[in-house]
Amino acid sequence: MGHQLESEYAGKRKTTCRVKFLAEMEITVSSDELLVEIKPYQPNRKRGHPPIGLERMLRLYFPQQ
C-alpha cells in the first residue's frame, strides 16, 4: 500500500523554480549548438584535475549572469 501512495504522490509534486528555469533555459538556448561552438576552446589537460564538463559549466554560468 505504501508503494501505491508514493506513485500517486509522484505526479503531484510542486514544480520548483529551479526546474522551471532549467526547462525555460533549454528552450531558449539550444545546449547542443552551444556546446559545438565552445568545445574547441575547452582546455584538454593530460595531468592534474580533470576539467568540469561543458554542460555542467553552462548550467552554472547562465544563472549567475
Amino acid in the structure at residue 57: M
Angle at the Cα of 41 (from 18 to 56), degrees rounded to 5?
Answer: 20
Determine what percent of the chain is predicted with pLDDT higher than 90.
0
**E strand or H helix that includes residue 19:** helix 17-28
Instruction: Using the predicted structure, report yes or no on whether residue 1 has a pLDDT greater than 70.
Output: no
Residue 30: Cβ within 10 Å count: 10
Which has more pLDDT, 7 or 28?
Answer: 28
Q: How far apart are CA 5 and CA 30, in angstroms?
A: 37
Q: pTM above 0.75?
A: no
The residue written with cell numbers 526547462 in the block is 23
- Report percent pLDDT > 70 for the chain: 82
What's the pLDDT score for residue 11? Answer: 64
